[in-house]
Structure 1
Amino acid sequence: MYKLRNYILCVFTAILLFFAAFAAEGAFVLKFYALEPATYKHILLVSGSYDKAYNEIKKQFENEENATGIPVSVYTDTITPDYVSSLIDDQIDLAFERINGNAQTVESSASDEKLSDLRTALEKFFDDYAKSINYTRDDAYYEKNRFCLCLSIRKNSRYSRCFSDAQDREGRIYESCC
């Protein structure tokens, strides 16, 4: 009887040690591999996700070119595959800073700075379009232009409506969302 009790304790201890070693190895992998931004960046690079993201963005602009009237080249001259990959990398870094408690939010001011090039290209396009239709560029134009830039960057709205329909039902000009 004494040997049976020792045998059961040894089996129970062996099972407990097996699961403890398995958990320790999992914690090691989690800490030194899974919670590193470089791991996710490498996975995205190997799987071609950067190129897929760029192609999806480009495809969206191509699909909406007829609806918005904004040529794809306005976007693609500014947004390149390297540009998209750097935005994705910035978001990964910010997310891990948030996970580690080093950042308050995941929102990126760096992304806004990078989008300033796109904003400049769109402003140039709207100015050229306004010149081509002899549209007066006054305060109302610039307010509508700001509204259209917000929609073009964030919602990809139709720019042709911006010059005529940038007011709500009560006739107020939309507040700038940028």
Structure 2
Amino acid sequence: MKWAAVVLLGLPGLAAAQSIDEEALMRATLDDLNIRSIAEGIEFCGYVGFIADGELAVSPPTAGDESSCLADDPTNLDLIVASYHTHGDFSTDYSSETPSGTDMEGDEEEGIDGWVSTPGGRLWYIDTTDMVTFQVCGIGCLAQDPNFVAGDDGFIAEEYSYDALVERLN
């Protein structure tokens, strides 16, 4: 998976196990943050990267609104490898079970990858080198909105290219 390459090239000497740590860190972070995001009906966002001693960490979450979030610049991270954000609570007004084209574009512009959690409890990874996004885990693997209606967004594939995702959301 791509995040392993980012981690190993980002700080020389780090073990390959760091890639597993990034996924575990993001599952725990976004599972907890999804609960708050769903309860408050807003997105939260931030960054994941390395602190001075080479340890993997996340920046404190920034609160957004019901459909967007702009993370504060992290003061605790020396090297940023990815962004993270939630998609708030379930709403029939938004197609929130996949990352958006804007999500992918924002990460690409920053030169990092991304992690996205959804109201249905999915966890997505955005790979900006290949401009694809894929589900790390599906419905219910993270905290889920009790009002979530499976199938409301139609069929959700395991992976999307940027072009396929933009087409799907139009």
Q: TM-score, normalised by structure 2?
A: 0.26
When Rg is computed on C-alpha atoms for both structures, the one with the higher figure is 1
Which of the pair is proportionally richer in strand? 2
Return the structure number with greater helix share: 1
TM-score, normalization: structure 1? 0.25
